[in-house]
C-alpha cells in the first residue's frame, strides 16, 4: 500500500484495509490441516475488519456480515466486499459529507507480502 500511495495510485483514506497474515498458516504435509489453517486465518482477518469498521459502516453491514460461514472464507470475503460497497454507496447517496467514510472508495486487501488488491 505504501508503494501505491508513493506512486500516486492510491490516496490516503481512499480505501479500508483488510489485512491477512498468511505467515500464521500452518504448513504441513497433511493438506487438510493446511486448508483448515488457511480458512481460520482468512476468517480471522475478516473478523478483525468487521470489528474495526462495523460501527462506521452501519447496521446493515453488521447484519449482512453476521451470517458468515466458518467453512467458507471465500464466500465470506465476497459477502464482506458487497456489504462494504452497499454501505459506502448508502453514505454517498445520503450525501453525508461529514461521515468518517465519506471519501472511501472500497476495500484494499493486504497480505504479509507486498501484493495489494483494491476493489
The burial class, CB within 10 Å (0-12 / 13-18 / 19+), for 89 is: exposed
* Distance (Å, whole) CA 44 – CA 68: 12
pLDDT tens for residues 2-32?
Answer: 666 677 666 777 888 888 888 888 888 899 9
Whole-model pTM? Answer: 0.78
Mean pLDDT of the chain: 84
Q: Which residues of the chain have pLDDT under 70?
A: 1-5, 8-10, 110-119
Residue 115 has a pLDDT of 40
Amino acid at each position: 500500500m505504501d508503494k501505491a500511495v508513493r506512486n500516486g495510485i492510491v490516496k490516503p483514506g481512499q480505501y479500508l484495509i483488510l489485512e491477512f497474515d498468511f505467515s500464521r498458516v500452518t504448513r504441513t504435509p497433511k493438506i487438510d490441516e493446511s486448508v483448515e489453517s488457511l480458512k481460520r486465518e482468512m476468517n480471522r482477518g475478516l473478523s478483525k475488519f468487521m470489528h474495526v469498521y462495523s460501527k462506521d459502516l452501519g447496521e446493515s453491514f453488521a447484519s449482512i456480515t453476521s451470517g458468515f460461514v466458518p467453512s467458507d472464507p471465500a464466500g465470506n470475503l465476497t459477502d464482506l466486499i458487497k456489504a462494504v460497497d452497499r454501505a459506502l454507496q448508502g453514505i454517498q447517496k445520503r450525501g453525508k459529507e461529514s461521515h468518517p467514510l465519506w471519501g472511501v472508495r472500497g476495500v484494499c486487501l493486504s497480505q504479509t507480502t507486498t501484493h495489494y488488491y483494491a476493489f
